[in-house]
Chains A and B, each alone.
Chain A
Amino acid sequence: DAKTTQPNSMESNEEEPVHLPCNHSTISGTDYIHWYRQLPSQGPEYVIHGLTSNVNNRMASLAIAEDRKSSTLILHRATLRDAAVYYCILRADSWGKLQFGAGTQVVVTP
């Protein structure tokens, strides 16, 4: 299965944008790019997903490179509640299991 590479941690100030990178150079043409986040003491929470085009929803935006070998999750205005581990996942399995890496720990400072 194709793997993803994310920075271990990122820090942001409250109300500023956060850009979380993810590299997936071995992505296949049918892999969807999914993002989940996990707040302390909670289960993971779906954030957004996409295939080729950029995607927006109420939580975040997903920018996908033209060659699909990298993507960026964008939190437009970070709040303290956005402090979490963010996971970038490629989903190829037709049954839909998720293969998590270590993710990026986002720290938001007031």
Chain B
Amino acid sequence: DTGVSQNPRHKITKRGQNVTFRCDPISEHNRLYWYRQTLGQGPEFLTYFQNEAQLEKSRLLSDRFSAERPKGSFSTLEIQRTEQGDSAMYLCASSLGSGTGSNQPQHFGDGTRLSIL
């Protein structure tokens, strides 16, 4: 399968612990996005990379959250000192970048479900 891959699929941790998720995009895609989805809601945008550069961050991304894409390939999303409200599905998507990018569909992984005890 050459789609977007996310690991782990599920993560259960205690409040206050740090967690890290990984996303492997489709290999030729230079744009990578992170979203968060809570139950019954649509996904919410968190941040976006063009190659290794992080170009936009949502106000939802507090200082406990950090995302990296060190070589412009895979990306990691770390949450420090997790809180109950961080429980959600974390989705990664990738796309080709060309022109304004508005036409390029995003391809999503199946997400990492985070549960905070």
Contacts and interface: CB of A to CB of B under 8 A. Distances in A.
Contacts of A49: 103, 105
Contacts of B35: 98, 100
Interface of A is mostly: loop
Interface stretch (B36-44, B66-74, B75-83): B36-44
B106 interface: yes
Contacts, number: 68
A49 B95 CA distance: 15
A71 to B, nearest CB: 16
B107 A97 contact: no
Interface in B70-117: 91, 93, 95, 97, 100-111
Contacts of B45: 97-99
B7 interface: no
Nearest to B109: A43
A97 B91 CA distance: 13
A42 B91 CA distance: 10
B110 A42 contact: yes
Contacts of A85: 42
> Which 9 pairs across A and B sit closest by C-beta, in order of nearness?
A100-B42, A43-B108, A46-B105, A96-B101, A94-B100, A97-B45, A44-B108, A100-B43, A43-B110
5 contacts: A92-B102, A96-B97, A96-B101, A98-B35, A101-B42
